[in-house]
Amino acid sequence: MNIIHRTVRTLAFAALLIGATGFTECYKPVTDTGLPKRIRTIAVPAFQLENNALRYRVETRFTEAVINEIIRRGRGLRVQGEREGADAVVDGTIKDFNVFGVLLDEAGRARIYEIKITAAVTVRDQTTNRVLYDNQNYEFRGEYEFTSDPRSFFNEEDPAVERIARAFAESLVSTLTNGFGVNRPR
């Protein structure tokens, strides 16, 4: 019994040792950022709309989502609306807004819709006037369902746009603060 106990303990210790040494490179805390250290204040002016993206308040939703995400995950970055006095500026434009029916019901009416929003985003260092990040085709998609019962009608397009704006902001702020795959012009 004593030998079995010792063998089991030895095997458990060996498994723990192998596990601890084998996975040390799997998790590395994020210590670097995609932004220069001197950037402490970021201006996020209201996003602009191009002519073909006419939808009520879509640019406001994207602007607010980016501001809220920088505040939530920006690692001490301050956010303001004006360019004056900011270390960096996030300029955004909603280039395109499309809604497509992707699933039809038995009567041939669209039941599930897909929203595709394309934005252009440029982050510029105001001190050096250098572009830190530029993506002119930032594309996000989301879906919503349209009910066939008129008594329970609720327009799901607005909540879907809100979800897409939050996903967009999370992706953008993650790219900026974590520096993963930062897209810098050459």
Residue 96: CATH number of its domain: 3.30.160.150
Burial grade of 2 (CB within 10 A; 0-12, 13-18, 19 or more):
exposed
**Tally of domains within the chain:** 1
Report pLDDT for 9: 72
The verdict on residue 7 lying in a domain is: no
Q: Is position 186 within any domain? A: no
Structural tokens at position 125: 């260092």
Is residue 43 domain-resident? yes
| Closest to 142 (Cα-Cα) out of 112, 119, 170, 169 | 112
pLDDT at 14: 59
Residue 92 in domain: yes
Does 24 reside within a domain? no
Residue 147 pLDDT: 67
Give the whole-angstrom CA distance, residue 162 versus residue 154.
15
Can you give the pTM of this predicted structure? Answer: 0.72
Whole-number pLDDT of residue 85: 94
pLDDT in tens, 125-176: 999 999 999 999 989 888 887 766 656 555 677 888 898 899 999 999 988 8
Mean pLDDT by 10-residue block, N- to C-terminus, for the chain (186 residues)?
70 57 46 74 92 72 94 88 94 90 78 88 93 91 74 69 91 81 46
The range of the structural domain enclosing residue 112 comes to 37-178
**Does any domain span residue 72?**
yes
Tell me what pLDDT residue 26 has: 45
User: Is residue 16 in some structural domain?
Assistant: no
Judge whether 69 lies within some domain: yes
How many CB atoms are located within 10 Å of the residue 183 CB? 15
